[in-house]
């Protein structure tokens, strides 16, 4: 099937989905979840083919781990779909309705986006996850997963579709692009006539490619060079625990802390404490010359370190002389994700919250909380680091738009 046909089918499916009630959508999710578990053996078999091919091609261990499916992971995909059943459907709500002086009643109603395109890497669990979020919000979805996971994705989509069919849902609400050609992906990114929004899910390279090549509006889910600033007079024990948590509780996630900024006045007391804890946790500290002079174990940072998202057991450290200097440094190097100040100073806390330009700005807490579940959204499509449409963790609402509905009785414009 060519892309134009896929697009036409998706557009028709979106109109159909828009007419579907929440009970029908929930039934579809339940059947799709059941069907995934039912198809376990076949999905695992397909995944084995992908794994074998990837191993032969010399894929790295971390990527192989992401590609691999197990009965537990299939169950987790099914559980994810079931969790969506319990969440409120955001579509259909009328956010406001007002009467204008001329008698027109103008309201704003939350509606599905329409057709959502998802471009992702070789992680077959994203297939079920992205489908579920789009379906719950009444959007048709076109999936383009990493080629290395093609057999797995085909099997997952097959069993999801089987479940949908069982509950009487049209099959075009989910479509997978099975073409391995790179040109197809380029074409997909310019299919403005049929796709309303494109969401890349994956690493920095994938996201950059989509941002640079898509003519369809993109929701950018981004990288995180997250900072923690230890202010003068901060509770240093608290600072240490928060830094430890933000750096090491989970390495390799976008809300992990990558950069420290420390007020000079606390350097002598704090840096040795920090050094000890980081050494215990095998974290290399790349610091400026002044900090290195205080702690010989620190490694001298290069200018590239300030802007690096390591996703590894490394953290950068810079000393500053004032809150203003800290804010300027962070606003220069951050990626608009999550930044935290550790302070006891009221004015400083407010100033940091006001002036740091990022999706989530914290006082006295770990950056690791930037997450849909931690924010209480129940589900998450990703964390937006752009400023249009959605910023920060995106729940189901990020997959909706609004339209104005206007009730008149013959009004014409004077």
Closer to its own copies at the Cβ: 62 or 412? 412
Question: Which residue among 167, 184, 245, 345 contacts its own copies (CB under 8 A)?
Answer: 245
The first and second tokens of residue 254, run together, are: 């976008």
- 3-state secondary structure at position 92: coil
Contact by Cβ (8 Å): 7, 142:
yes
Closer to its own copies at the Cβ: 82 or 363? 363
Residue 300 bridge partners (DSSP)? 287
End-to-end distance of the chain based on CA atoms, in angstroms? Answer: 51
For residue 401, state whether it binds its own copies (rule: CB under 8 A): yes
- Residue 83 CB, shortest distance to its own copies, in Å, is 18
If binding means CB under 8 A, how many residues of this protein chain bind its own copies?
A: 67
**Nearest 10 degrees: CA dihedral of 180, 184, 188, 194?**
-100
The first and second tokens of residue 410, run together, are: 């013959």
- 3-state secondary structure at position 191: coil
For residue 363, state whether it binds its own copies (rule: CB under 8 A): yes
- Residue 161 CB, shortest distance to its own copies, in Å, is 25
- Residue 26 CB, shortest distance to its own copies, in Å, is 19
- Residue 106 CB, shortest distance to its own copies, in Å, is 6
For residue 361, state whether it binds its own copies (rule: CB under 8 A): yes
For residue 378, state whether it binds its own copies (rule: CB under 8 A): no
Closer to its own copies at the Cβ: 291 or 399? 399
Looking at residue 218, what DSSP letter applies?
B
The 306-345 contact track toward its own copies, x by CB under 8 A, reads -------------------------x--------------
- 3-state secondary structure at position 30: helix
For residue 222, state whether it binds its own copies (rule: CB under 8 A): no
- Residue 340 CB, shortest distance to its own copies, in Å, is 8
Contact by Cβ (8 Å): 188, 117:
yes
Q: Which residue matches tokens 């997963």?
A: 145
- Residue 262 CB, shortest distance to its own copies, in Å, is 18
Residue 338 bridge partners (DSSP)? 360
For residue 134, state whether it binds its own copies (rule: CB under 8 A): no
Question: Which residue among 219, 230, 283, 396 contacts its own copies (CB under 8 A)?
Answer: 219
Distance (Å, whole) CA 358 – CA 252: 20
- Residue 408 CB, shortest distance to its own copies, in Å, is 3
Looking at residue 221, what DSSP letter applies?
B
Distance (Å, whole) CA 36 – CA 48: 16
Question: Which residue among 171, 187, 277, 391 contacts its own copies (CB under 8 A)?
Answer: 391
Give Cα 333 distance to the centre of its chain. Answer: 20
For residue 235, state whether it binds its own copies (rule: CB under 8 A): yes
Distance (Å, whole) CA 43 – CA 149: 11
Closer to its own copies at the Cβ: 278 or 291? 278
Distance (Å, whole) CA 329 – CA 116: 37
Give Cα 178 distance to the centre of its chain. Answer: 24
For residue 186, state whether it binds its own copies (rule: CB under 8 A): no
Considering only residues 57 through 116, tell me which ones interact with its own copies, judged by CB under 8 A.
98, 100, 104, 106, 113-114
Distance (Å, whole) CA 406 – CA 94: 12
For residue 4, state whether it binds its own copies (rule: CB under 8 A): no
Angle of helix 150-166 relative to helix 40-56, nearest 10 degrees, comes to 160
Chain positions contacting its own copies, by CB under 8 A: 15, 18-19, 98, 100, 104, 106, 113-114, 192, 196-197, 211-212, 215, 217-220, 235, 238, 241-242, 244-246, 249, 331, 349, 353-355, 357-366, 368-370, 374-376, 386-389, 391-392, 401-413
């Amino acid at each position: 099937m060519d892309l134009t046909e896929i697009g036409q089918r998706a557009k028709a499916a979106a109109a159909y989905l828009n007419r579907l009630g929440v009970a029908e959508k929930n039934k579809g999710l339940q059947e799709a979840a059941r069907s995934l578990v039912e198809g376990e053996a076949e999905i695992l078999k397909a995944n084995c083919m992908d794994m074998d091919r990837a191993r032969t091609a010399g894929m790295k261990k971390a990527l192989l781990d992401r590609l691999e499916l197990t009965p537990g992971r299939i169950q987790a995909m099914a559980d994810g779909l079931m969790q969506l059943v319990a969440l409120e459907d955001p579509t259909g709500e009328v956010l406001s309705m007002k009467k204008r002086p001329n008698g027109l009643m103008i309201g704003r109603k939350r509606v599905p986006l329409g057709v959502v395109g998802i471009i992702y890497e070789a992680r077959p669990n994203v297939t079920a996850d992205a489908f579920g979020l789009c379906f719950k919000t009444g959007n048709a979805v076109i999936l383009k997963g990493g080629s290395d996971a093609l057999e797995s994705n085909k099997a997952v989509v097959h069993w999801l579709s089987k479940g949908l069919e069982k509950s009487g849902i049209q099959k075009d609400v989910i479509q997978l692009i099975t073409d391995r050609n790179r040109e197809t992906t380029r074409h997909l990114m310019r299919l403005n006539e049929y796709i309303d929004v494109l969401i890349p899910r994956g690493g920095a390279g994938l996201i950059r490619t989509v941002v640079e090549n898509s003519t369809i509006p993109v929701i950018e889910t981004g990288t995180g060079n997250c900072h923690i600033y230890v202010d003068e007079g901060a509770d240093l024990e608290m600072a240490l625990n928060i830094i430890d948590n933000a750096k090491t509780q989970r390495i390799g996630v976008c809300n992990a802390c990558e950069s420290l900024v420390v007020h000079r006045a606390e350097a002598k007391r704090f840096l040795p404490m920090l050094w000890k804890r980081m050494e215990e946790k095998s974290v290399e500290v790349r610091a400026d010359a002044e900090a290195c002079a205080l702690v010989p174990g620190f490694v001298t940072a290069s200018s590239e370190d300030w802007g690096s998202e390591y996703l590894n057991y490394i953290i950068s450290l810079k000393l500053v002389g004032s809150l203003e200097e800290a804010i300027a440094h962070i606003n220069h190097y951050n990626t608009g994700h999550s930044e935290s100040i550790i302070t006891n100073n009221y004015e400083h806390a407010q100033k940091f919250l006001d002036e740091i330009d990022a999706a989530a700005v914290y006082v006295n807490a770990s950056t690791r909380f930037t997450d849909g579940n931690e924010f209480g959204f129940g589900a998450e499509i990703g964390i937006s680091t752009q400023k249009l449409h959605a910023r920060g963790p995106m729940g189901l609402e990020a997959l909706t738009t609004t339209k104005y509905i206007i009730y008149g009785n013959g009004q014409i414009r004077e």
